[in-house]
Amino acid sequence: DTEPYYHPTPTTATSEEDDELFAGPSLALYAFEPENPNELRLDEGQEIMVSYRHGQGWLVASDPATGEQGLVPEAYVRL
């Protein structure tokens, strides 16, 4: 007998959970320069507060030091 090829994916990040809440402090892994007015600038090592996953690889976050809020790339942030 061979094992089935199908391996179920983890249930922590499905497409139905794109707006999943992640409220809490997170760390910027890389600097990010906004290209649009609704994006938040990040400095490497900066602590931010993530509100939720916006979808398509973006998070809604705020900078506790300035109160600014905007979108940041999820790949740039350690949740």
CB 68, CB 32: distance < 8 Å = no
Write out pLDDT tens, residues 20-72. Answer: 666 899 999 999 999 999 999 999 999 999 999 999 999 999 999 999 999 99
pLDDT at 74 (0 to 100): 96
Number of alpha carbons in the 13 Å side-chain half-sphere of residue 42: 28
Contact of 72 with 59, CB cutoff 8 Å: yes
Domains and CATH numbers, the chain: 20-78 (2.30.30.40)
pLDDT in the model for residue 6: 52
How sure is the predictor about 79, in pLDDT bands with cuts at 50, 70 and 90? Answer: confident
What is d(CA 11, CA 7) in angstroms, rounded to the nearest whole number?
Answer: 12
pTM (whole model) above 0.85? no
The answer on pLDDT for 14 being more than 90 is no
